[in-house]
């Protein structure tokens, strides 16, 4: 659970900055920030499951 | 013709000052330009990332010639990332805090996350710095 929360916090902070510096209008910034956040979360979860099945 | 104009376009001195201010103190470059909300969002994210990094037991990187071989060179890239936090990094460097790794720190489950957050705080501040520079140069509103 802690790992998931840390990943969520990381995705949120990065998405806030990416969204704020990109695009021109506030609506576009919000949508881009949400998109970046969703991408971080989905890719993080997919990678976590892929690595779960790989014996290291 | 347009490309020539763009390539020879020079940024005003104010833009460089704002860029340096934004690098030194996260959010300051936007505050000085009256962009309070932007300063709060960008600066806040960097400060929170930096503080969370230390709270999770992270450490900062620095170049150390004392380490042998390639090991010392491997510290340069993350050091450049950490250096993005400006005075936060410099004050830690001067006071000698935040660079060591105690066994208790290394045993924390969030140890690796910690130094990653510290590194990313610096990288995010580089983005914030470029944003402050662009606003001062009139390339962004």
Tens digit of each residue's pLDDT (9 = 90 or more) over A18-31: 999 988 788 999 99
Q: Exposed (0-12), middle (13-18) or buried (19+): which is B131, by Cβ within 10 Å?
A: buried
Q: How confident is the model at residue B117 (pLDDT cuts 50, 70, 90)?
A: very high
Output the pTM of the full model: 0.88
Binary contact (B49, A20; C-beta < 8 A):
no
Query: How far, in Å, are A19, B37, B57, B124, B131 from residue A34 at the CA level?
Result: 8, 18, 29, 17, 20
B123: contact with A, CB 8 A cutoff: no
- Sign of the Cα torsion B85, B116, B43, B130 reads positive
DSSP state of B26: T
Name the residue among A2, A3, A13 with its Cβ closest to that of B45: A13
* pLDDT in the model for residue B16: 94
Q: How confident is the model at residue B6 (pLDDT cuts 50, 70, 90)?
A: low
Q: Flag the least confident range among A7-16, B37-46, B62-71.
A: B62-71
Q: Would the pLDDT of B68 be above 80?
A: no
Higher-confidence residue: B111 or A41?
A41
- Contact predicate B46/A18, CB 8 Å: no
- Contact predicate B26/B47, CB 8 Å: yes
Residues whose CB falls within 8 Å of the CB of residue B135, separated by 6 or more in sequence, listed in order = B18, B30, B33, B35, B141
Binary contact (B124, A2; C-beta < 8 A):
no
B31: contact with A, CB 8 A cutoff: no
Binary contact (A2, B110; C-beta < 8 A):
yes
- Tally Cβ neighbours within 10 Å of residue B127: 20
Binary contact (A6, B38; C-beta < 8 A):
no
* pLDDT in the model for residue B97: 87
A8 CA: distance to closest CA in chain B (Å): 12
């Amino acid at each position: 659970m802690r790992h998931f929360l840390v990943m969520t916090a990381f995705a949120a902070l990065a998405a806030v900055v990416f969204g704020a510096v990109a695009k021109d209008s506030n609506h576009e910034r919000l949508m881009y920030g949400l998109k970046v956040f969703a991408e971080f979360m989905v890719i993080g979860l997919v990678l976590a499951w892929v690595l779960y099945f790989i014996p290291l | 013709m347009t490309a020539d104009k763009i390539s020879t376009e020079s940024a005003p001195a104010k833009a460089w000052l704002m860029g340096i201010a934004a690098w030194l103190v996260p959010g300051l470059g936007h505050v000085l330009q009256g962009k309070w909300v932007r300063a709060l969002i960008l600066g806040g994210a960097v400060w929170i990332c930096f503080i969370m990094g230390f709270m999770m037991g992270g450490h900062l990187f620095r170049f150390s010639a004392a380490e042998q071989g390639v090991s010392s060179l491997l510290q340069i890239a993350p050091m450049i990332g950490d250096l993005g936090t400006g005075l936060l990094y410099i004050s830690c460097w001067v006071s000698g805090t935040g660079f060591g790794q105690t066994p208790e720190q290394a045993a924390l489950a969030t140890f690796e996350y910690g130094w990653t957050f510290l590194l990313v705080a610096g990288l995010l501040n580089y983005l914030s710095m470029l944003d402050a520079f662009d606003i001062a140069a009139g390339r962004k509103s």
